Chains A and B, each alone.
Chain A
Amino acid sequence: MNARPPAPLLGAALAVFRKDLLAEWRTRIAVNALFLFAFAVLVLVGYAVGPTRLAPEDRPTVNAVLLWIVIFFSAMTGLSRVFVKEEEAGTASALRLAAPPPAILLGKYLVNILLLSAVTAFIVPLFLVLMSFEIKCPSLFIALLVLGCLGLAGASTFTAALVSKASAKGALFAVLSIPLLLPPLIAAVSGTQVAAREEDFKAGADFVRVLIAYDGVVTTAAFALFDAVWRE
């Protein structure tokens, strides 16, 4: 019988991850879009708002909102490409016939996590310096960044798969992503304010729990629904 079993999930996912990274390294389309957007917004925010124009009591709130706005819109700028480029280039059919759907989702999710992590690692230190944004609980801040990026990458990856066959991909991606990404953004912004005001991790632990729950739900839902989204 010629019906051998499908490829192991992790091996196929890593192959998709490596292929996307290699293709991105050679074209740098998503990387350029993400980093140029992040850099331009950082410079604008630093110039227009700056550390001296904010009252000390307003800084945690305003800086937390601004930081997550930069991260959020950077994600919107580049993360949809993982699936959109497969449909636009005509490679989606080849991938559909070759790779198990969960492996494709996992590979693309890992690519988006890496891209968003790289942009966040670029944005955050510059933002902290430019805005003189003091964080009193770094462990809480780092936990919020990691979990927030996982949530943004997970929801963006799944939404990108949903919109990749549509004609108005850009508009549809924003329309579907924004309501999906508001809950983790609110938790991340609120938690970042706490991290800037309090030294105790426990003060912001509820926001960490919200993000863990969100990431778990989004990842589970994405893997449960992806097969139908990708093959239909």
Chain B
Amino acid sequence: MRLVAEGLSRSFGRRKIFGPLSFEVPAGAVLGVAGSNGSGKTTLLKTLSGLIRPSGGCAKIFFDGEEVGAGHEPRDVPWCIGWVAPDLALYGELTAEENLVFFQSVHGLPASPGRARALLEGVGLSEHSHSKKSLSSLSTGQRQRVKLAYATLHDPAVLFLDEPSSNLDADGVEVVARVVAAQRGRGIAIIASNDPRDLGLADETLSL
């Protein structure tokens, strides 16, 4: 599989945010996106993931065996996409485990508390944190770890990570590295960040 952007751009009114950009990310690769605050890193990730429409060009995901020129717009294959971002929130009234079981169900996966617990333990959360406390009572760093588990619970082909290490301690940064390493075996990861620890995980970096 691969992700291809062709002449991708986004503007809000007359204000150009980024682009036009053209690039290709092959399977197993990790692309870093760097740039100063307000340079459009988050908007680029939202456009690539299909959360917002591009003003020009397109982004397509190609799976094995598909013809050149075919491919899927990300918004049409949302189950192939994992997403972590600072402005993403999960349900504060539910526990971390309940959140993951809910997202398993809406993704069409079997609702498995056991698998949810395993994912949460994989990102370094203790049983007390993920099954007894509501998400809103966890620390910002713990919630960031839950977001990483949420983004990977359906084995996405493309994983978008916007500032993945923000609010994380040293162990948490290790978790991000493990998540990115695992993603190489599943497909593609795209990391938008200014943190050298995040960008150090990428094979190539695109500067905005």
Contact = CB atoms under 8 A, between A and B. Distances in A.
A53 interface: no
A231 B75 contact: yes
A97 interface: yes
Contacts, number: 97
B1 interface: yes
Contacts of B49: 97
A94 B80 contact: no
Contacts of A16: 106
A97 B65 contact: no
A52 interface: no
- B-side interface size class: 35 or more
B94 interface: yes
A23 B81 CA distance: 25
Contacts of B186: 2
Contact of A3 (B53, B72, B83): B72
A6 B81 CA distance: 12
A93 B98 contact: no
Interface string B72-87: 1001011111010101
A3 B80 contact: yes
A38 interface: no
A8 B108 contact: yes
- A-side interface size class: 20 to 34
B89 A97 contact: no
A98 B153 CA distance: 11
A91 B78 CA distance: 16
A93 B83 contact: yes
Contacts of A94: 83, 88-90, 103, 150
30 contacts: A1-B63, A2-B1, A2-B155, A2-B187, A3-B61, A3-B72, A3-B157, A7-B105, A7-B106, A7-B109, A15-B106, A16-B106, A19-B91, A19-B98, A23-B91, A89-B89, A89-B92, A90-B87, A90-B88, A93-B83, A93-B85, A93-B87, A94-B89, A96-B78, A97-B78, A97-B83, A98-B78, A98-B79, A98-B154, A232-B53
Interface of B: 1, 49-51, 53, 61, 63-65, 72, 75, 77-81, 83, 85, 87-94, 98, 102-103, 105-109, 111, 134, 150, 154-155, 157, 186-187
